[in-house]
Chain A
């Protein structure tokens, strides 16, 4: 069986500078990130947590009432150990706009910001959120290094279709922006590319016919405006990726004990190893538990017996309820065990399911306690 994941040792280690929570959507990634950040802060670290799309109540608990893309200090954090917690929600478009504004000349930046292709790219491209989460992480890290604002950054990852998207998105975006099509548009009649220009004319003619001439012009503007940024983009994403390979980073994969989520967690653990990124462990989240040593079968049999006797309806109902719970307990245990057997080297920790959603700092503290085992 896999070793135990020691969350307290992880956050107490001053070498740990970045914690990234990842996993399939809906498994409690954001809550886990917030709970770890709060626990680390209350144990004395200077922490900033970057959340992506928190539930409203959780956002309110962290004092995140507006999406302003800036870390703000969370009130009511127990500061007796000298720690503090800042929290922020990612504003993806704004982060992208900021990159453009800092990378391009003011005139060129305006051109880019108004281009319809840029607007689409920065607000709805399927990998932009992932890319911008990594960009923001890079920015926070740079600030931490420069002025020592924080000694621990906790990052949540977007609720992607696949947990791997945030590793792939920067590359995908970069290759799109450096693609052959844009290169051709920029230099259709120069050098060796001229040989292909006959074929390329067919292409531009086709585009003009279907989309209209304005579109082609917009693409060209977009391409030429972005040209100067390409190098910068590629470089930035490579920097962030190398940041994630450092031993000061710890990835925590979060999974609920359901087959889909565990499958994602498996993929992810293996992918991190291939990418040589430091996997600290897997959090098996919201595992159903029971303190009653009564199996589902026995419970059901007893419930049936009581129902037949028609005398103890409440006890019968409670036994029925317990039987349902035990079926879940057994299923969760079976799936968790299967995961651990298949990943013997990966440390894991189980967090029992709570009755209520987390909606305040006490709830986060409770999750933190459970995470610490």
Chain B
């Protein structure tokens, strides 16, 4: 499971993770549930239907399949699979029940979405698991606790019966060692706060936190001493100006002063990032850093990020 605040790059990280997990000879399924077609955009392919499709061959040689789960289609599939309700399923749709139920029946939507993931993880062909790993681009941190608390969610809806049984099985898988939730964050106030809140919630639900992925990390070209001086506006302007003169940049002093001001802004930001990093470290969970991709994310960048994650994986 990969979650994170909107804008932190959770879909990108989920895709990179799927690629990193796809060793030679294995199959990995990458699932999205929010109807955003984020995976299609990322891999630059037409919108994904409710159908598993091979979307990439990983650097290590495994195959990555992608699936965009749609709650309404999942409900009809579920009814057909378990109850053989072909005709009734269509009637449900015609009477607007599918829309109604997947929209406001408490928790049902999430049971259907996680249920599809559950089904994919357990699917076998000739005794072999079809997928070696399933990566879910899950809802954002603000909703992840509720989304994964499948049991509690359907409690108000169904105390007994097949939906309840289904929810129990899903919950068991989610709480097992086979499932881990990874949280993607930036070193900014809001994403970090949401990450901390989500970790607390997920732990209270007995779910396993895998790691925190700190995304879009930038290295500072300044060392700590210079950062400290820059923050206090005490960088040696005369010396900087001499350096500028040596590089043939005239008007050294004014430029040196302005460069020092830019360095102060930078030092303030680095300071905030470090505070945020400490808050993440205090969780005591594994932390992986992914570098900022300066020119925007494309398929190539996803592969690069997947290699960073694959290294982190082999280090562990």
Contacts and interface: CB of A to CB of B under 8 A. Distances in A.
Given A159-B6, A302-B248, A318-B263, A206 B88 contact: yes
A209 B83 CA distance: 9
Given A184-B95, A318-B259, A355 B268 contact: yes
B125 interface: no
Contacts of B281: none
Interface in A207-241: 207, 209-212, 214-215, 218-219
A26 B7 contact: yes
Nearest to A30: B190
Best-buried of A55, A126, A215 by chain B (most CB within 10 Å) = A215
Given A176-B100, A314-B226, A317-B222, A210 B162 contact: yes
A179 B262 contact: no
Given A203-B88, A206-B92, A212 B294 contact: no
Contact of A199 (B6, B95, B160, B242): B95
Given A25-B7, A125-B104, A176-B99, A203 B92 contact: yes
Contact of B106 (A119, A159, A309): A119
B296 A259 contact: yes
B105 A302 contact: no
A116 B262 contact: no
Interface in B204-259: 218, 220-223, 226, 235-236, 239-240, 242-244, 246-249, 255-256, 258-259
Best-buried of A116, A210, A320 by chain B (most CB within 10 Å) = A210
Instruction: Summarize A's interface: helix, strand, loop or mixed.
Output: helix
A161 B6 contact: yes
Nearest to B93: A203
Given A206-B85, A315-B240, A327 B294 contact: yes
Interface stretch (A85-93, A135-143, A273-281, A288-296): A288-296
A181 B100 contact: yes
A311 interface: yes
B50 to A, nearest CB: 19
A210 B159 contact: no
A3 to B, nearest CB: 29
Contacts of A121: 104
A306 B256 CA distance: 15
A22 interface: no
Q: How large is the interface on B (under 10, 10 to 19, 20 to 34, 35 or more residues)?
A: 35 or more
A319 B104 contact: no
A356 B268 contact: yes
A267 interface: no
B6 A181 contact: no
Given A181-B95, A181-B100, A314-B235, A210 B7 contact: no
A196 to B, nearest CB: 8
Contacts of A298: 249
A218 B12 CA distance: 41
B100 A202 contact: no
B100 A182 contact: yes
Contacts of A317: 221-223, 226
Given A179-B99, A317-B226, A291 B106 contact: no
A306 B246 CA distance: 8
B272 A291 contact: no
B265 interface: yes
B163 A319 contact: no
A328 to B, nearest CB: 9
A265 interface: no
A321 B266 contact: yes
B103 interface: yes
Given A26-B7, A179-B96, A327-B294, A302 B249 contact: yes
Nearest to B100: A181
Interface string A48-65: 000000011100000000
A159 B36 CA distance: 15
A321 B162 contact: no
B255 A292 contact: yes
B173 interface: no
Nearest to A325: B262
A180 interface: yes
Contacts of A56: 189, 193
A68 B259 CA distance: 46
B283 interface: no
Contact of A124 (B6, B34, B146, B223): B146
Contacts of A357: 188-189, 272
Interface of B: 5-7, 34, 36, 79, 83, 85, 87-89, 91-92, 94-97, 99-101, 103-107, 143, 146, 156-163, 188-190, 193, 218, 220-223, 226, 235-236, 239-240, 242-244, 246-249, 255-256, 258-266, 268-269, 272, 294, 296
13 contacts: A55-B190, A57-B189, A125-B103, A126-B103, A199-B91, A215-B158, A302-B244, A305-B247, A317-B222, A318-B259, A318-B260, A320-B221, A355-B269
Given A117-B104, A321-B221, 7 more contacts: A121-B104, A206-B88, A314-B240, A316-B243, A321-B222, A325-B266, A357-B188
The 4 A-B pairs at the shortest CB distance, nearest first, are namely A315-B243, A312-B243, A120-B106, A116-B156
